């Protein structure tokens, strides 16, 4: 299998960054498309937004599968289990929300309808869900140390600002 599986015991940390980036970029592109009005750039932004949203929805399938694998294989204690479960619940709600929005967008696209303000608000809400879910995932790693191969031993080593230069 090579070195990568030894360093990265599961693929969730890699895949989740694609999910986050695609959804956030999609939201920004939908906003730009809406603000551009009837300009030719409006359609370009909107088409790119659709593509990012749909790719995000597809890769989220892999992200969720890898997340379940991590949830069931990473060594943990009771407090970190509660944090993982909280992150998992937020992630499933967020993924479900975006899958519904992606389906909604497919119907809009196939009907040739422009996205309206309600759709953009939904995307902004979803982006807020992504941020909250990501924060909770970060807590699992950085507060509880899950998914890392080892934590450094705390010693008296301190960096001083002049050492940086």
CB 16 within 8 A of CB 137: yes
Is residue 7 predicted with pLDDT exceeding 60? no
Fold of 10-147: 1.20.120
φ, ψ of residue 85 to 5 degrees: the values are: -65, -40
Q: List, in order, residues 6 or more apart from 51 with CB less than 8 Å away.
A: none
Interval 51-93: pLDDT, tens: 999 999 999 999 999 999 999 988 888 989 999 999 999 999 9
Interval 116-149: pLDDT, tens: 999 999 999 999 999 999 999 999 988 888 877 7
Domain ranges (residues) in the chain: 10-147
Question: So what's the pLDDT on residue 158?
Answer: 66
Q: List, in order, residues 6 or more apart from 54 with CB less than 8 Å away.
A: 102, 105, 106
Is residue 156 predicted with pLDDT exceeding 60? yes
pTM recorded for the entire structure: 0.86
What is the helix (H) or strand (E) element at residue 20, kind and residue range?
helix 12-35
Interval 92-117: pLDDT, tens: 999 999 999 999 999 999 999 889 99
């Amino acid at each position: 299998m090579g070195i990568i599986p030894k360093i990265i015991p599961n693929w969730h940390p890699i895949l989740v960054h694609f999910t986050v980036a695609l959804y956030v970029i999609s939201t920004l592109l939908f906003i730009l498309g809406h603000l551009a009005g009837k300009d030719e750039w409006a359609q370009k932004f909107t088409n790119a937004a659709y593509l990012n949203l749909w790719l995000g929805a597809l890769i989220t399938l892999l992200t969720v599968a890898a997340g379940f694998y991590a949830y069931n294989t990473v060594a943990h204690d009771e407090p970190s289990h509660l944090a993982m479960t909280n992150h998992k619940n937020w992630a499933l709600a967020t993924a479900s929300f975006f899958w519904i929005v992606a389906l909604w967008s497919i119907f809009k696209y196939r009907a040739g309808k422009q996205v309206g303000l309600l759709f953009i608000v939904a995307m902004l809400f979803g982006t807020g869900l992504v941020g909250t879910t990501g924060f909770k995932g970060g807590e699992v790693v950085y507060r509880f140390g899950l998914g890392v191969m080892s934590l450094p031993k705390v010693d008296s080593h301190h960096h001083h600002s002049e050492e940086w230069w």
